[in-house]
Amino acid sequence: MLKSIAATMLMSAAMIITASAQNGGKVTVVTSFSKDVTDPFKAGFEANNPGFTLDVQNKSTSSGVKYVDETKSNNQVDLFWASAPDAFEVLKGRNLLSKFTPSVTGLPDKVGSYPVNDPDSYYFGFAASGYGIMSNDRYLEANNLTKPVEWSDLAKPEYYDHVAIAAPSRSGTTHLTIETILQGEGWDQGWTTLKNIGGNLQQVTERSYGVPDAVNSGQTGIGIVIDFFAFSAQASGFPVSFSYPSVTTVVPANIGVVANAPNQAGAEAFVNYLLSEKGQAVLLEPAIRRLPINPASYANAPEGFPNPFKDARFQTMLVFDSETSKNRTDAVDALYDQLISFQLDNLKAATRAIHAAEKALAANEQAPARALVNEARALVAAMPVSADEAVSQQLRDAFSGGKEKTARQAELEQQWAAFAKEKYSAAKAKAEEALALVN
């Protein structure tokens, strides 16, 4: 009898352990978010879901997408967690996400004018993000600079060598900012704005975190960032400001369950935690300060914190076209690298010469010199690729090699770099000729 009871107890214990293992275990997430963001969520999730452990693998958005794609035959990832909606569209289009219906209800359909969730339930918004300009107040005062509020402000001569940005090819959030400017201003004018800002850049960082770090430390005065970088810096006591330019957007930061997730139950549990009241409350912690997707959460937000569900400016922001962005992501990132990041010295030299000539013309206007400066600006603005070409199947095929560049991609990038170098050199010569005429 005692043996029978003991056997029954052992069987019950084994069943409990097995059930616990089935309802727990390691949940692996690939994310572009820093430890400052992921650590509080990891702690909260594990505390509210005993038995689960969140394993965070940090990768840039683009490398994260490639990793999920390249390991799909032996997938070890449960979740993909990032800001860029077009990255989720890529994963969805490649059948790398699985459908799921969260148990959390009562969340809004839109943030600003943008849908919160994928209509087919492959990924879900958990926070909102806007793009704009972060500045160090003390740095601006020391350098006698006014706070910039529009993208066009960053192209003004007084901001030369005072601006930082992350390379969009390395930062999904910066890519979204670049794409937002291109969509809001149009392809040609958007690239003109980007190049004019590029000529004033102090640095192009490899990761998005490098920009707010530089602004916080006073290494540079101005950074092009996602909004929460500035809000969390403010909460930490840094003397920084943030502006949403008139041409910007607010979009959801997302999470999706990866197809064939090894811990499907854990993946679903984490999504539900993110969307729950407890998960949404974590977004308002000083180290994070992201815009919650649950409108009720703003009752506990700090004074002056933006509310995209009530602030009128969010309702008039650009409706981001993730399909267009997805179709030209590789082209846009490569163009930015070849025309700006990798040609920064040449672009800055041309910009400096144009600024000098325009300063001289302001004191002594001369038509021939003005014509030369206009020619110089047109040379800087010139693009080797049209908007239609950027989304063409031929160009998309050229960038289909993944880690291994296709021969066509390498050829195009070489052509674009040579194009930029030639145009910027010619622009510098025109501007210097104009300056000589005035002087």
Q: How far apart are CA 361 and CA 435, in angstroms?
A: 8
pLDDT of residue 2: 38
pLDDT of residue 207: 86
Give the residue-averaged pLDDT of 380-394. 97
Q: Can you give the chain as a three-state secondary structure string?
A: CHHHHHHHHHHHHHHHHHHHHHCCEEEEEEECCCHHHHHHHHHHHHHHCCCEEEEEEECCHHHHHHHHHHCHHHCCCCEEEECCHHHHHHHHHCCCECCCCCCCCCCCCEECCEECCCCCCCCEEEEEEEEEEEEEHHHHHHCCCCCCCCHHHHHCHHHCCCEEEECCCCCHHHHHHHHHHHHHHCHHHHHHHHHHHHCCEEEEECCCCHHHHHHHHCCCCEEEEEHHHHHHHHHCCCCEEEECCCCCCEEEEEEEEECCCCCHHHHHHHHHHHHCHHHHHHCCCCCCCCEECCHHHHHHCCCCCCCCCCCHHHHCCCCCCHHHHHHHHHHHHHHHHHHHHCCHHHHHHHHHHHHHHHHHHHHCCCHHHHHHHHHHHHHHHCCCCCHHHHCCHHHHHHCCCCCCCCHHHHHHHHHHHHHHHHHHHHHHHHHHHHHHHHC
Give the residue-averaged pLDDT of 75-101. 94
Q: How far apart are CA 274 and CA 111, in angstroms?
A: 17
pLDDT of residue 371: 98
pLDDT digits 0-9 by tens, 389-427: 999 999 999 998 766 789 999 999 999 999 999 999 999
pLDDT of residue 172: 84
The closest alpha carbon to 225, from 123, 160, 148, 155, belongs to: 148
Instruction: Please state which of the ranges 229-243, 340-354, 375-389, 391-405 shows the lowest mean pLDDT.
Output: 391-405
Give the residue-averaged pLDDT of 425-435. 98
Instruction: Please state which of the ranges 15-19, 61-65, 233-237, 265-269 shows the lowest mean pLDDT.
Output: 15-19
Whether pLDDT at 81 is above 60: yes
Give the residue-averaged pLDDT of 191-203. 98
Q: How far apart are CA 340 and CA 351, in angstroms?
A: 12
Share above pLDDT 70 across residues of the chain, in percent, rounded to a whole number: 94
Whether pLDDT at 113 is above 80: no
Mean pLDDT of the chain: 92
Whether pLDDT at 4 is above 70: no
pLDDT of residue 11: 39
The model's confidence at residue 18, banded by pLDDT at 50, 70 and 90, is very low
Query: Scanning the structure block, which residue is given the tokens 């325009």?
Result: 358
pLDDT of residue 86: 84
pLDDT of residue 23: 65
pLDDT digits 0-9 by tens, 144-159: 999 999 999 999 999 9
pLDDT of residue 439: 87
